[in-house]
Each structure stands twice: as structure tokens, then as C-alpha cells.
Amino acid sequence: MFIKEYFKTIYLTVSSLLKGMKTTGYYFTHQKEIITEQYPEVRPVLAERFKGEVIMPHNEANEHSCTGCQACEIACPNGTIKIVTKNEINAEGKKKKAIDTFVYHLELCTMCNLCVVACPSDAIIMANNYEHSVFDRREFTKVLNNPGSKIMEGIE
């Protein structure tokens, strides 16, 4: 009785192993169904909403839409964003707050999207970049507004 059980177990084990090997063999012979990506040679197509880093889009006239309201700085949980403002005198001779530098610390950012949601004028968006490694840590600190850029007309 014991010997019968013993051989039955061996039979079941081998047959279930072969059943599993059948699945492995299927993919061995059907290599077109394997979905492995050859990463560095083949670049992946990322989703359009993929959160890679915060950028500030500028138009052709080197204009952005950031008013310097600092809503993103308040919304950020890690102190990633630091906005330095200055007073600009506009065409009517009035003083107006404008951004001097929009400092963004990529190494502190967790891509939580809270700053983009908080922005009232949609001045910052998330970009699709994903290869962020650099040789020097200082390169992580970025200034998002282009040099000499101005605020767009009509954005308060």
C-alpha cells in the first residue's frame, strides 16, 4: 500500500512538472509572443501623462505664464520649489510682482503632481523625461524660467 502511494506520488509529480514544462516549451517555440523589451536599443513609448520632471513651457517669444504667486511652493510637500520674486515696473508705471528665478530641485522631487494641480495659470507641467542621472549633484538644481523670459500678456 505504501509502495503504491510512493509510486503514485512520483507519477503525479513528474506529470505535473511536464505539464508546467509544456507551458515553458510553448514560449520556447513561439518566440514572437515574448514581450521582453530591449531597453537601451529600443526606446520605450511613454504615456503622455507620465510624470518625469517639472518643466515650465515657453512660447516662441520666450514667454511663460508664471505669475510668481507661489501656490506651487506652498503645495509642495518636500520644499522642491523655491521661487525668487522681483518687482517689475510695467508699461503703466505700476509696480508688479514677477518671478526672478524659479528654482526646482529635481533630487527632492517625488513627482506627486501637487504643484501642477495647484498652479492657477498652468505655468508648469510634467514632462516625460526619465533618464535623470548626472555626474554632479549640482546639476539637479534647475532654473525653470529661461534667461530673459517674460510673462505672457493677459495673465494675472
Partner 1 sequence: MLEELGTNDQGDMIINIGPQHPSTHGVLHLVITLNGETVKKVEPHLGYIHRSIEKMCESLSYRQFIYVTSRMDYLSSHINNHGCALCVEKGLQIEIPARAQVIRVLMDELTRLASHLLWWGALAMDLGAFTPFFYSFREREMINELMEDTCGARLTMNYIVPGGVMMDLHPDFQRKVKEFLRLFKSKIHEYDDLVTGNIIFQNRTKGVGYISREDAISYGCTGPTGRGSGLSCDIRKLYPYEIYDQLQFDEVIETDGDSWARYKVRVGEMMQSMRIIEQLIDNIPEGEFQAKTKAVLKLPKGDFYTRVETARGELGVYIVSEGGSTPYRIKFRSPGFSNLSALDHMSRGGKIGDLMATMGTLDLVIPDIDR
Name the site residues for partner 1 (rule: CB under 8 A).
9, 12-13, 16-17, 19-20, 22-24, 35, 46-47, 49-51, 75-77, 110-114, 117, 126
The 8 Å CB, 24+ separation contacts for 127-135 are 127/52, 127/53, 127/54, 127/55, 128/46, 128/48, 128/50, 128/52, 129/52, 129/53, 130/46, 130/50, 130/52, 132/52, 132/53, 132/106
What is the rounded CA–CA span in Å between residue 153 and residue 101?
19
Residues paired with 105 in a beta bridge: 141
Shortest distance, position 90 Cβ to partner 1, whole Å: 27
Whose grid coordinates read 508699461?
A: 91
Q: Which is nearer to partner 1, 45 or 61 (CB)?
A: 45
Shortest distance, position 72 Cβ to partner 1, whole Å: 12
Q: Which is nearer to partner 1, 24 or 133 (CB)?
A: 24
Q: Which is nearer to partner 1, 1 or 35 (CB)?
A: 35
Shortest distance, position 93 Cβ to partner 1, whole Å: 32
Q: Which is nearer to partner 1, 123 or 145 (CB)?
A: 123
Q: Which is nearer to partner 1, 50 or 62 (CB)?
A: 50
Strands 53-55 and 95-105: unpaired
Shortest distance, position 15 Cβ to partner 1, whole Å: 8
Shortest distance, position 39 Cβ to partner 1, whole Å: 13
Centre a 10 Å sphere on the Cβ of residue 76 and count the other Cβ atoms it contains. Answer: 21
- Is the separation of the CB atoms in 152 and 110 below 8 Å? no
